[in-house]
C-alpha cells in the first residue's frame, strides 16, 4: 500500500468535496461526529464557504470507503450487558449488599 500523497492527491476543488460528502451514506451531522468536526464546519465545506485541507479530504475519502464497503448488517452492535450500562445514582442507592 502506498502512503498518501498530498502533492498529487489533494484536490482543491470545492465541488469534489461537496460531492464526496454527499456520496457518504451518512448525515452531515454523523460525518462531523465521526471525524471530530463541528456540524458547522461540514456545512461550510458543502457550501464551499471554507477550503478543505488535505487531511480532511483524506478522512472523508476513508469514511466513504469504509461506509460503502461494509454493509450496515455486518457492523457489530454493542453488547447488552449490565457491565456496559451506566448506573444512575438512585439505582446504586437502592442496591442491597
CATH number at residue 63: 1.10.260
Instruction: State the chain's mean pLDDT as an integer.
Output: 76
- B/e letters for 2-17, b = 16+ CB within 10 Å, e = fewer, are eeeeeeeeeeeebeeb
79 assigned to some structural domain: no
Residue 77 phi, psi (nearest 5):
-95, 160
95 assigned to some structural domain: no
47 assigned to some structural domain: yes
How far apart, in whole angstroms, are the C-alpha atoms of residue 3 and residue 9? 11
Q: Tally the domains of the chain.
A: 1
The more confident residue out of 59 and 94 is 59
**Host domain of residue 45:** 6-74
When pLDDT is averaged across residues 15-31 and rounded to a whole number, the result is: 93
19 assigned to some structural domain: yes
When pLDDT is averaged across residues 13-40 and rounded to a whole number, the result is: 93
Amino acid at each position: 500500500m502506498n502512503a498518501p500523497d498530498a502533492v498529487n492527491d489533494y484536490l482543491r476543488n470545492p465541488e469534489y468535496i461537496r460531492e464526496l460528502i454527499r456520496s457518504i451514506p451518512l448525515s452531515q451531522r454523523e460525518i462531523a461526529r465521526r471525524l471530530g468536526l463541528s456540524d458547522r464546519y461540514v456545512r461550510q465545506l458543502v457550501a464551499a464557504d471554507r477550503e478543505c485541507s488535505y487531511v480532511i479530504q483524506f478522512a472523508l475519502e476513508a469514511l466513504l470507503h469504509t461506509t460503502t464497503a461494509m454493509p450496515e448488517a455486518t457492523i457489530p452492535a454493542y453488547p447488552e450487558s449490565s457491565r456496559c450500562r451506566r448506573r444512575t445514582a438512585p439505582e446504586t442507592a437502592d442496591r442491597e449488599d
